[in-house]
Each structure stands twice: as structure tokens, then as C-alpha cells.
Amino acid sequence: MARPRAKELTERELEIMHVFWDDGEITASEVRDRLAVAGRDLAYTTVATLIRILMEKGFLETTTEERPFRYRPLRSFEEVSSNLVGDLVERVFGGSREMLLKCLLDQQKLSRKERLALEQFLKEQRR
């Protein structure tokens, strides 16, 4: 019996979505070319299959009815990344954002730029 499809993105699907978020509406061939330039050489059939799965999951839609088909993202990077982080916080850290932050900060020291950005974000949150 086949395993049911995951609602969220696999690593390869996320890789494909990043191309769409960067480039907008493009063809499967253009996705393959962008990945190849980035050092990820996938077969066209692999890219086409991943795009079909992403359409089934509701992450992409076709914008043309004639070949070559063009696709565009239905869900933004902000929406998807927010859902993934929320899921990570729930599943790994039991809903504790504090534990996530501690883990992140224990990984390596913040750069000056990161510290300033975090301070600015916290100031905005207080308003």
C-alpha cells in the first residue's frame, strides 16, 4: 500500500518552490535550467513530476492551456515558511518558541548585523 502524500513540502519540492518564488511564472524546462545553473542537475521528467505533485498539493497552478505549460505559485514564501516554522515549533519544541530561540542562539553567536535586526524586530513587537 502506498504511503499517503504529505501536506507540506519535501526537500526537493521546496527546492522547486524556491525557483518559482524567485522567478514567478515559468515552465518546467526553465525550472530545470535554473536548478542546473545552481548546480542541481535533475532530469526533466523528475522536475515535471515534482511540479505535478506540487499542483496536486495546491502549491502551483498552470497559467496556460497550450504547451509549454507555464506554472506559478499559489502560496507565497511567507505563508509556506510561516507554516513550516510553526510546525517545527509544535513538533520539535512542544510549542515553545523560547526553546526554539535558545536552540538557535546556542548554535552560534549572532553577528552584529543579526543582533541589530533582532533588536529592531523586538522594538517593533513592543509597539
Dump pLDDT digits (tens) for 79-99: 999 999 999 999 999 999 999
Considering the domain boundaries, does residue 2 fall inside one?
A: no
Three cell numbers at 5?
502524500
Q: In this model, does residue 1 exceed pLDDT 90?
A: no
Give yes or no: residues 60 and 15 share one domain. Answer: yes
Is residue 127's pLDDT more than 90?
A: no
Judgement on whether residues 90 and 59 belong to the same structural domain of the protein:
no
CB of 28 within 8 A of CB of 44? yes
- 68 and 15 housed in the same domain: yes
Residues 82, 63, single domain; the answer is no
Same domain, 103 and 60: no
47-78 confidence digits (pLDDT tens): 999 999 999 999 999 998 999 999 999 999 99
Query: Which pLDDT belongs to residue 4?
Result: 47
Residue 6 lies in a domain: no
**In terms of domains, do 68 and 99 share one?**
no
Residue 67: give its domain's CATH number: 1.10.10.10
Same domain assignment for residues 63 and 89: no
How confident is the model at residue 8, as a pLDDT? Answer: 80
Instruction: Report the share of the chain in percent with pLDDT over 70.
Output: 94
Give the pLDDT confidence score for residue 97 in this predicted structure.
94
Coil, strand or helix: which one is 30? helix
Provide the domain count of the chain: 2
Residues 15 and 51 in one domain: yes
Question: For the whole model, what pTM was predicted?
Answer: 0.82
DSSP characters over 37-103: HTT----HHHHHHHHHHHHHTTSEEE--SSSSPEEEESS-HHHHHHHHHHHHHHHHHTT-HHHHHHH
In three-state secondary structure terms, 113 is helix
Strand ranges across the sheet with 60-62 = 26-27, 70-73, 60-62
CB-based contact 9:80 (threshold 8 Å):
yes
Burial bucket for residue 19 (CB in 10 Å: 0-12, 13-18, 19+): buried
| Span 38-49, pLDDT tens digits | 999 999 999 999
Q: Are residues 68 and 92 in the same domain?
A: no
Single residue among 57, 73, 89 that ends a domain in this structure:
73
Residue 4 covered by a domain: no
